[in-house]
Amino acid sequence: MEKSLKKHDCLKIRSKIAAFTLNEMMVVLVITTLVVSTALAVITLVRKQTQIISFNYETATSYRQLEKSLWIDFYSFEKITFNSDERKLYFTNQPDQQTIYQFERDFTLKNDDTLAAVKELELFSEGLPVKTGKLDAIRIMSDNYWFFIYFDTDAAYNLNN
């Protein structure tokens, strides 16, 4: 009988599996939780910053597009007038070619294209501020962006207009 007990004891000792204790597993879970939560917080911050950068880039691009379009039209058309009642800027040439900018509260329309919103307009004719009529310069302002568009007038311009 003693032999059978010894055999049984040997099997018991040999069948012991190496494993972590419950305390060790709890420490690993706590450390893993801290690492994962920190990583998620960093990812959330990076995502928010990326969204802000993207929004700012799109806004700046929209205003640059409006500025570029106005520069081109200021030098492409012979007559520039502004109607303050309708908040429309008219660019016209002799052969009935016309481009219209309509300044709404939330956007600007150029013919059928939607451009950036304009908060404030300042119009100038021969260096003096005007509210409506013929003009040769315009300052456009928004929250974080502003630009000044003008063209040099000459005697021919003053005679023709």
pLDDT tens digits, 11-66: 555 667 788 899 999 999 999 999 999 999 999 999 999 999 999 999 899 999 99
And the tokens for 117? 């919103």
Do the strands 88-92 and 79-83 form a parallel or antiparallel pair, or are they unpaired? antiparallel
Please check the confidence at residue 158 and state whether its pLDDT lies above 70. no
Q: Decide: residue 124, CB within 10 A, 0-12 exposed, 13-18 middle, 19+ buried.
A: middle
What would the pLDDT profile of 105-117 be if each residue is shown by its tens digit? 889 999 888 888 8
Q: 87: left (phi > 0), else alpha (psi -120 to 50), else beta?
A: left
Residue type at position 82 = F
Pairing of strands 88-92, 128-130: unpaired
Of 110, 98, 102, nearest to 65 by C-alpha is 110
Domain ranges of the chain: 51-160
pTM higher than 0.75, yes or no? no
pLDDT in tens, 109-152: 998 888 888 999 999 988 899 999 899 899 999 888 899 999 88
For 39, other C-beta atoms within 10 Å of its C-beta total 10
Q: Give the three-state DSSP class for 1.
A: coil
Place of tokens 């013929």: 134
CA 39 to chain CA mean position, Å: 26
